A and B are shown apart, each in its own frame.
Chain A
Amino acid sequence: MREAILRGDPLSTSEISGLVSAATNPNDAIARLTRLLNGALLVAAVVLAADALRLIEQGVDHPPNAVLLIVLLVGAAISVGIVGEADARHLDAATSNELSRTTLGRIARLDEALDVGDLPGARQAIQDLHRSFPAWGLLAELDAYVTLREGDVDGALNRVSSHLDRSDDVYVSALVGSAAALDAGKFDVALRVIDQVERKRPLTAEELRIRRAVCLLAGHLDEMVDGAAAKANDGQELALMAQQSPLGSNISGALFEGIVALEGDATGIDLRAESIRGLSAPLEALRLWNHSSEVPRCDGTPFALLLDLVASRGRAGRDPVAEALRLATTLVDGEALESIGFVLLVLGHPRPAIDVFERSIALRPKYPRVHWAHAVSCWRWGWDDKARESAGRALALDREDLVLAASAPIIGRTGSASTVDEGEFEHQSLRPTQRLQLALIGVDVKPAPSPMTSRERFAEALIDAARELHGHDRPASVA
């Protein structure tokens, strides 16, 4: 083991967690049982001696030295019992004192303190470990985690940010940072933290899932409508994650994995996303949205408002434009603004949508779909020149995109000449966002098979609303 560490070879999770458990107080059931048995034997000896003395007092026949014998026997039993127990206690104290001075003992103490919620103890253990491992990034992250558990969200975020700024040794920054940011309702900060981690090392499958959950609650159109299909290479990334762990590639990485190992009955610091306050609800929302017909409740999030606006389409007493614009003014997230613009456009309000798309473009000028959406809004509003300009910018940014290419000849036209052949899209496997885009320019594509999940139903509701915009007033005729 020592040689492995000196060579810098990675240690396996089980090796490290075995070492950490060796440094904790052993939970030896046989020793506990034997101590109980000793006590019972001692009590039995005392009771028996008392009974014998009582019989002697009552005048029962007994050898002349019986009293002395009884006193000696019971005295010996008590002495042996007391000495044995004292030795056991002394050994316990000496061992835990000795082990607690070793690094693994300190790790075990940290593990135990976090497990029982002793936050000052955990902080002390982190400081002790820091003296041995000043460059071990996990300690700074656990310090942030303890701060988060103390309820100081901003303090936790500051600790994570400063750690990410000065170190590449990153383990749970994405989890702790995003949990703190979500607690504070700062979706953009959560995404920024995860992106910072991604620039340092590949994200784990769990971190990818957290990013998707944050994108969903932040109201990003791709996540709300396309789900897992939003990033085509996610599957490859997940496969990659299954093959190799980006965290266990060095000693401190292996120590991290050993400490958080929670297989079977093994103890460890529970740093799974589901167990961190602030992350379990978004992950559950992501699961429900993509795999169930139940609509997740995420009150106060852009996701919830967008959902509500689409669901209450056309209902009396609602002013979707005012509500959407109120939300838009609070956001500095280009993708969330894009979603608001899309919802406004689909609900038949192209003019406010133009303003929202322009704010989104200011934040993400190189993203072609927002230019495209701006073009469609301008076109719907009758600003054909502006629409052509934006459509040209979108196409310049991405010449490969099927929908952008198909839209270019339509947007800005007022004539009736047909330029789009629906058959062109018949055999394409289109993502729901692409079907929504086509519906917005009046191209009917084959409907999706009956939607089952909340996400599919939301996507179809948007596409239906977009189709209705063109129901009687299709701007471009279709072959």
Chain B
Amino acid sequence: MSAHIELLSYLLGAIVFSVGFLSARLHSSADAARRQVSDVALA
């Protein structure tokens, strides 16, 4: 049983790390696209 709880803790850690990584990646790429497009200011 303690093995189950231990594994569940690791999984939670992995999920937190992975969601954090994904969020950082998506936000930075969206910012880059916005910056690149607004830098041209064609509109």
Contact = CB atoms under 8 A, between A and B. Distances in A.
Interface of A: 1-2, 5, 19, 22-23, 26, 28, 30-31, 34-35, 37-38, 41-42, 44-45, 48-49, 51-52, 55-56, 60-63, 66, 69-70, 73-74, 76-77, 80-81, 83-84, 87-88, 91-92, 94-95, 98-99, 101-105, 132
A73 B9 contact: yes
Contacts of B8: 45, 48-49, 52, 70, 73-74, 77
Given A69-B5, A104-B37, A95 B42 contact: no
Interface of B: 1-2, 4-5, 7-9, 11-12, 14-16, 18-19, 21-23, 25-27, 29-30, 32-34, 36-43
Chain B interface, >50% SS class: helix
A111 to B, nearest CB: 14
B28 to A, nearest CB: 11
Contact of B38 (A26, A73, A102): A102
A84 B40 contact: no
B12 to A, nearest CB: 5
Q: Which 4 A-B pairs have the closest CB atoms?
A: A84-B19, A103-B42, A52-B4, A62-B1
A135 B13 CA distance: 57
Contacts of B2: 63
A30 B42 contact: no
B38 to A, nearest CB: 7
Contact of B22 (A35, A73, A103): A35
Nearest to A255: B42
A258 to B, nearest CB: 11
A329 to B, nearest CB: 53
A19 B37 contact: yes
